[in-house]
């Protein structure tokens, strides 16, 4: 055979080999897995627009099922999760989720924290339910955990949905989340807002939205009205959610701190709370004015002549106390004193008053059972609560103390 014949035979053998390889690959390569994802036909802005933030309402609209082929054969569970979210999400939601390094272990998908920006809460209002709905429909995924920011060690105790870390906030600040029942006492726990210097600019009570006598997570809400100092060195601050600790024991203290950013325009109108102050004549007045001060009490004759008076002190005032050294004695403490009717939630004081620079306070009350509590700080000072029975025609004396934490 001549050279042309050998070349022709060689070409035929090569083509035959290629053909057999193609047939082999087509019959032995596993098909790509099908990705199923869910979307909504509704406009997210209808449910999440700053005024209305109805995540649960938007979640109910995420029902349209679609499918696509996975990019790789035999993808891992986390690869399926990432592809599912990329297909389901759009706009800024997709941009954020594509950048996050999600992980999966034992069916639990953990989503790391991310930096906030103006409008992030509106985006996450619709993005979060979209992500959770799609992940939980994947076989083998049973739970989705969102990290709350720098303090992820508290994720198994308390989780905050809004505000998220580094979110820009304005007044009133609406706080939503869930916490273990052990974080509450009498269905509530204190929340505090501080500025860059650690100065408390607002404090209030978070209230459980369901039965708190459980070890499971219980949803809660709170609202804080505040006015930030527009001349402050930094617009950053902290939201502190403090575990209620009626025992007063330091080992039972706990708190979650979330970094926030104050909105530039701090001169917007402040919506005052509906908290009421009981006047000596038995009537009640609400908060008013740009700083939400209590309105003046009417000057009328008392309908009852019973109440409580006493002195609020704080101590220790020195780390080391020496016998005979009076300079380290407990000092008067000027603060708000709350009066809570026994059986009522701590978030609804029956009345409030102020102790003066000498620590003295007094308030007229109708006969009944009450708990009297000075308001302390975010963590310290920690003030005691005392129960008292008010009897007719008698002013009862009751001194109160706060622990400064100085040791």
> Is 375 a residue whose pLDDT tops 90?
no
Q: Which fold has domain 152-262?
A: Immunoglobulin-like (2.60.40)
> Is 152 a residue whose pLDDT tops 90?
no
Question: What is the pLDDT averaged over residues 160-165?
Answer: 85
Model pLDDT, residue 129: 92
What is the CATH code of the structural domain delimited by 304-403? 2.60.40.10
Tens of pLDDT along 95-118?
Answer: 888 888 888 988 999 888 765 544
Question: What is the pLDDT averaged over residues 168-186?
Answer: 91
pLDDT confidence tier of residue 351, bands split at 50, 70 and 90: confident
> Is 271 a residue whose pLDDT tops 60?
no
> Is 13 a residue whose pLDDT tops 90?
no
Question: What is the pLDDT averaged over residues 76-89?
Answer: 93
Tens of pLDDT along 313-337?
Answer: 988 878 776 776 777 888 899 888 8
Q: Which residue spans of the chain are classified as CATH 2.60.40.10?
A: 152-262, 304-403
Model pLDDT, residue 150: 47
| More confident of the two residues 330 and 301 | 330
R_g of the chain, CA atoms, integer Å: 31
Q: Poorest-confidence range of 64-78, 218-232, 272-286?
A: 272-286
> Is 9 a residue whose pLDDT tops 90?
no
SS3 string of the chain?
CCHHHHHHHHHHHHHHHHHHHHHHHHHHCCCCCEEEEEEECCCHHHCECCCCECHHHHHCCEEEEEEEECCCCCCCHHHHHHHHHHHHCCHHHHHHHHHCCCEEECCEEEECCCCCCCCHHHHHHHHHHHHHHHHHCCCCCCEEEECCCCCHHHCCCEEEEECCCCEEECCCEEEEEEEEHHHCECCEEEEEEECCCCCEEEEEEEEECCCCCCCCEEEEEEEECCCCCCCCCCCEEEEEEECCCCCCCHHHCCEEEEEEEECCCCCCCCCCCCCEEECCCCCEEEEECCCCEECCCCCCCCCCCCEEEEEEEEECCCCCCCCCCHHHCCEECCCEEEEEECCCCCCCCCEEEECCCCCEEEEECCCEEEEEEECCCCCCCEECCEEEEECCCCEEECCEEEECCCC
> Is 4 a residue whose pLDDT tops 70?
no
Model pLDDT, residue 268: 46
Model pLDDT, residue 121: 64
* Mean pLDDT, the chain, integer: 80
Q: Poorest-confidence range of 3-7, 115-119, 366-370?
A: 115-119
Tens of pLDDT along 190-246?
Answer: 999 988 777 888 999 999 999 998 888 999 999 999 988 777 767 888 899 999 988
Model pLDDT, residue 30: 47
Model pLDDT, residue 167: 85
Whether this model's pTM surpasses 0.75 = no
| More confident of the two residues 288 and 318 | 318
Would you say 225 and 273 are in contact if contact means Cβ atoms under 8 Å apart? Answer: yes
Model pLDDT, residue 131: 94
């Amino acid at each position: 055979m001549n050279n042309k014949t050998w070349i022709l035979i060689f070409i035929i053998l090569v083509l035959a080999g290629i053909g057999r390889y193609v047939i082999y690959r087509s019959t032995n390569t596993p098909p790509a897995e099908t990705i199923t994802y869910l979307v909504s036909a509704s406009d997210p802005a209808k449910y999440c627009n700053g005024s209305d933030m109805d995540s649960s309402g938007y979640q109910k609209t995420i029902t349209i099922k679609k499918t696509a082929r996975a990019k790789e054969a035999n993808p891992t569970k986390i690869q399926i999760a990432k592809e599912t979210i990329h297909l389901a999400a759009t706009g800024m939601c997709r941009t954020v989720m594509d950048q996050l390094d999600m992980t999966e272990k034992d069916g639990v998908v953990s989503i790391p924290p991310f930096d906030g920006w103006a409008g992030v809460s509106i985006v996450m209002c619709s993005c979060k339910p979209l992500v959770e709905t799609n992940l939980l429909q994947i076989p083998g995924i049973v739970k989705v955990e969102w990290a709350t920011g720098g303090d992820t060690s508290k994720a198994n105790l308390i989780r905050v949905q809004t505000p998220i870390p580094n979110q820009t906030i304005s007044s009133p600040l609406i706080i939503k989340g869930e916490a273990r029942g052990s974080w509450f006492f009498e269905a509530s726990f204190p929340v505090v807002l501080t500025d860059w210097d650690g100065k408390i600019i607002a404090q209030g009570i978070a209230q459980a939205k369901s039965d708190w006598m459980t070890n499971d997570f219980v949803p809660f809400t709170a609202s804080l009205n505040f006015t930030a100092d527009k001349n402050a060195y930094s617009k950053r601050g902290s939201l502190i959610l403090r575990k209620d600790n009626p025992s007063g024991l330091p080992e039972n203290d706990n708190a979650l701190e979330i970094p926030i950013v104050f909105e530039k325009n701090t001169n917007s109108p402040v919506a005052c709370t509906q908290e009421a102050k009981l006047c000596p004549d038995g009537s009640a007045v609400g908060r008013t004015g740009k700083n939400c001060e209590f309105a003046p009490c009417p000057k009328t004759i008392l309908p009852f002549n019973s109440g409580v008076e006493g002195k609020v002190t704080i101590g220790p005032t020195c780390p080391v106390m020496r016998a005979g050294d009076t300079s380290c004695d407990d000092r008067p403490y000027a603060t708000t004193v709350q009066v809570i009717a026994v059986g009522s939630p701590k978030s609804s004081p029956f009345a409030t008053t102020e102790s003066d620079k000498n620590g003295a306070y007094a308030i007229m009350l109708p006969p009944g059972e009450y708990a009297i509590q000075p308001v302390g700080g975010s963590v310290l000072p920690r003030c005691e609560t005392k129960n008292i029975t008010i009897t007719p025609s008698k002013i009862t004396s009751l001194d109160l103390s706060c622990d400064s934490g100085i040791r």
